[in-house]
């Protein structure tokens, strides 16, 4: 998986991690898959997210890792009694979504692999095309 347990240490301590994630590894992995899909919904139109999520260790984009961690924790915090820690997680979640919206609107440009089409175009999923047709000489 793209996220490791060590990635959670940057935003919560071991006790908080155990409280939020509980004993079910399957629940944590389900939240992580949902978080990665939410990230993809903002970025897959321009970036090759399969390549981005296939990166390992230091090759991973640190901001992408933090977004995935914060969104995962936000999805998991709702099953705690009385939503303990809800306010802090909500703030981190909103920051992650704001960054993703900035990436989507091209206000932020992360170091992520872009799609490359067969003709070498790196913006293959952009619906706006420009240019002109090849010159036609009308020689019959």
25, part of any domain: yes
Alpha carbon distance 30, 34 (integer Å): 6
| Residue 55, CA distances (Å) to 9, 17, 59, 68, 118 in order | 20, 24, 6, 14, 23
Provide DSSP, 62-107: HHHHHHHHHHHHHHHHTTSGGGTTHHHHHHHHHHHHHHHHHHHTTS
Alpha carbon distance 59, 133 (integer Å): 40
Is the full-model pTM beyond 0.95? no
- Tens-digit pLDDT profile for residues 73-82: 888 887 776 6
Indicate the SS3 state at residue 15. helix
Domain count, the chain: 1
How much is the mean pLDDT over the chain?
A: 82
114, part of any domain: no
13, part of any domain: yes
**Which positions of the chain have pLDDT values less than 70?**
23, 81-85, 117, 120-130, 140
Domain enclosing residue 39, as ranges: 5-104
70, part of any domain: yes
119, part of any domain: no
pLDDT at 60: 92
42, part of any domain: yes
């Amino acid at each position: 998986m793209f996220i490791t347990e060590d990635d959670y240490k940057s935003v919560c301590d071991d006790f908080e991690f155990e409280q939020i994630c509980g004993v079910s590894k399957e629940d944590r992995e389900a939240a992580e898959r949902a978080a990665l899909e939410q990230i993809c919904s903002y970025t897959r139109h321009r970036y090759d997210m399969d390549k981005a999520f296939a990166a390992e260790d230091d090759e991973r984009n640190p901001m992408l890792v933090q977004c995935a961690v914060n969104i995962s924790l936000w999805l998991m915090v709702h099953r705690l009694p009385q939503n303990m820690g809800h306010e802090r997680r909500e703030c981190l979640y909103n920051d992650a979504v704001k960054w993703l919206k900035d990436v989507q609107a091209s206000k932020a440009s992360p170091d992520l692999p872009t799609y490359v089409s067969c003709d070498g175009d790196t913006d293959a999923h952009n619906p706006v095309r420009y240019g002109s047709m090849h010159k036609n000489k009308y020689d019959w």
